[in-house]
């Protein structure tokens, strides 16, 4: 459930890093959300499971994606979800700070975990799980959670209440009480 990297390296003359990924035909999850395409709750659950499987594989290699968001999830016409954009991955346990050399925190602000935003704790797999929670919440409600979020089943009675518990585990602001793995 991960888009394959075909080649990577840096241009010899300018020393600019590059990454070539396979072409993945389909639509991003962001497009589904923005266009209002209706996925059933079964389809949404399958998308969540496939993203979680991809993150499990990434985390098993001790890598943190750092930019899980709907735009980086591709959905093929058969409904198969794949994680893309591995340009911000970080080796877990790397003592380097979460910031880049320019002092910028990599990722997309709206999907970052609290510790990723503040730099208060190491960024690890739990940060990706928080971002997965934000992504799933947005898939269910069309909105991103802010501060104290409203359970999706209260916004839309058709949302299974079990999703509220899944999100509660993923969206904990404290990484110690957040889901530790998928």
Active-site amino acid positions: 67
19: enclosing H helix or E strand = strand 17-21
CA–CA separation, 114 and 4 (whole Å): 29
Strands (E), 27-180: 27-28, 63-64, 73-75, 81-83, 90-91
Q: How far apart are CA 34 and CA 36, in angstroms?
A: 5
How many Å apart are CA 8 and CA 17, to the nearest integer?
A: 8
Which of 162, 136, 123, 124 minimizes the C-alpha distance to 48?
136
* DSSP designation for 11: -
Q: Are 55 and 182 in contact (CB under 8 A)?
A: yes
Phi first, then psi: give them for residue 47, nearest 5 degrees. -60, -45
Please tell me the distance from the alpha carbon of residue 128 to that of residue 75, in angstroms, as a whole number. 19
């Amino acid at each position: 459930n991960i888009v394959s990297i075909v080649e990577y390296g840096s241009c010899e003359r300018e020393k600019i890093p590059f990454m070539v990924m396979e072409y993945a035909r389909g639509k991003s999850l962001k497009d589904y959300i923005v266009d209002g395409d209706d996925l059933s709750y079964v389809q949404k659950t399958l998308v969540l499971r496939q993203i979680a499987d991809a993150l499990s594989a990434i985390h098993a290699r001790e890598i943190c994606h750092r930019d899980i968001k709907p735009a980086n999830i591709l959905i093929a016409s058969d409904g198969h979800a794949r994680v893309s954009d591995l340009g911000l991955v970080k080796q877990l346990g790397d003592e380097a700070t979460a910031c880049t050399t320019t002092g910028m925190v990599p990722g997309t602000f709206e999907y970052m975990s609290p510790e990723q935003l503040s730099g208060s704790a190491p960024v690890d797999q739990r940060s990706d799980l928080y971002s997965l929670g934000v992504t799933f919440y947005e898939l269910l409600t069309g909105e991103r959670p802010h501060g104290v979020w409203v359970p999706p089943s209260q916004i839309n009675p058709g949302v299974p209440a079990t999703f509220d518990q899944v999100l509660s585990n993923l969206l904990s602001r404290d990484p110690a009480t957040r889901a530790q793995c998928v």
